[in-house]
Structure 1
Amino acid sequence: PESLGPPSELIHVRRSERTTRAPNRLCLNMKVEHDEVGDLEEPANYKTIMLDPDKRYCNDFSMDRIVDWAEMEVEQHGGPSQHLQKTNQAKEKVSHNETNGVEASTSSVNSDYNSELDSDGDLYMIQIRPIPDAIGKLSLFTELYLDSNKLKGHIPSSLGNCKELTVLNLDDNKLSGNIPEQLLLLPSLTNFLSLERNSLSGSIPTEIKNLKMLSYLDLSYNNLSSTVTGSLGECISLSELYFSSNIFQGITPSSLSLLRALKVLDVSQNNLSGKIPHFLDKWKFIEFLNLSFNDFDGEVLVTGVFANASVFSVLGNNRLCGGFVTLELPKCKENGNERFLKVSYNELLKATDGFSSTNLIAEGGFSSVYKGILNSDDDEFVLVKVLYLQNQGARKSFLAECEAWRNIRHRNLLKIITSCLSVDFQSNYFKALVYEYMPNGSVHDWLHSSANTLKLNLLQRVNILNDVATALDYLHNRCQTTIVHGDLKPSNILLDADMVAHVGDFGLARLLGTDLNQNSSTEVKGTIGYAPPEYGTRNEMTCSGDVYSFGILLLELTTGKKPTDDMFIEGLSTHKFASIALPDHVLDVIDDDAIVLQSTEGDTKEVEECLVATIKIGVSYSVDSPPERMKIEIVISELQRILDVLQNI
């Protein structure tokens, strides 16, 4: 209705189902004062509208006359005649004739401004090619919408003078040239910046780092090239980021890992290459990830967003492998020719300060583990695992571990750096493996060490379980040769700086279908309390045995009780202890350090429901009968569901 306008503030009427034209007065949403624009021949109270080029309705943005833009009035019969007039030039009337009682224009004013009429004499397309530099004089703009207007030319750098601008939408035009650096120096640009579907070229300016509060950025469907600037990582408030359908190349910068608030990331249809960055599956709020039609290679992750095939796409990356079966990607091939650069005994001796007891982290039946600095230039610690070659089984343990590491690569497995096969100063054989250092130690330390004053909360514990389950799923189902870990327990699960769990110690590992799966009746199989009961009566190590160990690990993480705790006597075990608490007495068996009940009754109920669901998993995985144990891949979706609840409490 005509009575609706003119409004005092911007009104959006987008993608509606209107069947009649919007009244002209509705389009008059702001007034430009004389001193903001500069000297004009007449007062700057002329009404200016822009029409949707497709539907002939008011476009999202309309403004009063400014320098070098057209004054456009469109009235029906009975009002002023239709005309287009260019500002700061002599007024030029358009010829008119009467058609069915409606005044109709039959020509355009000049080559810069084109308009056409439909059969009823209504103006239905206005094409304004350049965005004038004078637009920068409108310093009080807060929102500017010029999308879908077939604008040509460059984006004026004078937009950098619009110091109050929070929203800028220039998408679906024919703009070309570079993105002006001045535009990216606006700290006010916090809500929305869309430049998609134009012909912009060049690279993303490093000045993008100044938009630290921007929440939405769309640069899709342009001709932007070069590498993706690492400066994007400083736009830490981004929740949606799109730069699909450009010509970007190279690897994804690691600085994007700082965009932890991202819900949507679309980098599809570029020439990006390299491995899929590991930080992508750490983002907690990501709802959709599109990596399709690039040149990524290597293994597709199976955690975080990659655990749900409906919320990410990797189509068109023909060198990818692995991932969940639903992706229908080939299995990753082992690289049998890869060899690690070996180090000498003397280098390891120096790195660990002579294998000093102050650097000793852990001791086991076959080895000792030290921390040390292998490269004095970077001061980064490594883990050095020294084998007790004089102990029975140590040599075979070393062989098993080397063979296992030759076949596996996964973010939740401890990363091997190098190895050492040498002799010491007494001419004794010396063997060692060097691993990536894990600064947060082992899960065992967090649960049971008196020296560790910090404790794991429930969310951290479930995250650790999810990491371990993902690693086991990889070993059992994603490797070219199925691998049984054989000794899953808290001391073999190490935590990095981000508290991500890494499964280590493959000294008892078995590769099914190879000579390394041939056990003797005298060999150690697992650790007491964590090894399944069938290992005591037969030789074969199985994936089902790892599942049992995972169930015991889960119950230890939630109850805080070791399976060898003194309380487990007269037939009571970790499994039975947890089982009898279901479903109404779970809080009675949970480790006090695991949870801090929320202040509201609703949150307390949600926490308890998560605990019940978690304990049920542990009980079902730690049953004595192997056929009754579920496969490890099933637990991942269950744990992810629990994590989703905990993260929103």
Structure 2
Amino acid sequence: MEVGCFISLEELDISENMLSGKIPTSLGSCIKLEYLFMGRNLFQGNISPSLESLRGLQYLDFSENNLSGQIPKILEASVYLKFLNLSYNHFEGKVPTDRVFKNISAISVKGNNKICGGIPKFQRPNCKYKKPKLTVALKLIISIFSGLLGVALVLSLLFLYSLRKKRKENTLRDLSKKFLLELSFQSLLNATNGFSSTNLIDVGSFGSVYKGILDHGGQVNTVAIKVLNPYYHGASKNFIAKCEALQNTRHQNLVKVFTSCFGIDYQGHDFNALVYEFMRNGNLDEWLHPTSRSNETLEGPRSLSFHQRLNIAVDVVNALDYLHHNCYTTIVHCDLKPSNILLDDEMIGHVSDFGLAKLLFDATEDSFINHSSSIEVRGTVGYTPPGAQE
């Protein structure tokens, strides 16, 4: 049916007339309509969106029809609607909860068995949203796409791993070439009697230091060999940081590095080592706090005179001044402590252990690069400078 409407019409009652069809869209032209009664007819389909034009509507009765679909949001948005009867239709879905739908005495939705939600007084079940069923073809497409995506991800990870490993090997190789000579794992094994405990000098978080005798081209040297612990998190980065910090440093108060060594040991683990000049008088911490060792017999009590202490302090200051101001690349040590200050035969101090060092480029280049190792505790408590944790 079609319903003509006067613009000035305020009330329309066509209930109980056995009218059928859809809700006439022409009702939208009755913009002053306040009362609309269409109950007890045979209307079907959805409520026409044209009712949105009836902004002054106060009373609306659609009861006892064959209307279906969702309860439109336009009814919830109506500001002046005071009474709404949607009972005994075939509406479905969620009942709104705002404005007129909040007043149980102003609305009736009974007889609609497929609706859910709304305010608790409606006593309707909670809405359960059904997941759309996937067709066999769609499931097959998703399975194939997921499989291809998984394979691509695995291949990408393998490629990145191999690229990272190759880059690491190239970096270590380039760094190793900057030192005076290249040594193999076997040569260091022979120099330390198989890294025996009798040659062990010190054990730290990053690795162990061994005393070794190197015979290279007929020239015999006593050296200190620091072997990094492959199981320690960030060991490789620590090794690279040491190499980068030491490759271009030349100063009488810095520990002298003969070479680096990287490769694979007999168990298939990464082997990284640095070969230093051997310091017969150990480190400053052993002189400040002397303790007896099981593999070492002290000829006498170790003590430092005031003059020796002052000279060692000057040695350390000279080394730091060189690192901060006269090095090609400014270096900040970040872990300066007595155990990292080694003493030679003449009790001259040498700064060592650059595993946490930071390399700072010229400020005019507007750049900052941190080559410190990735470890959880950066430096030693009590000796870590401000900013080393950044």
- TM normalised by structure 1 equals 0.30
Higher relative contact order (CA 8 A, sep 6+): 2
Mark the structure with the bigger radius of gyration.
2
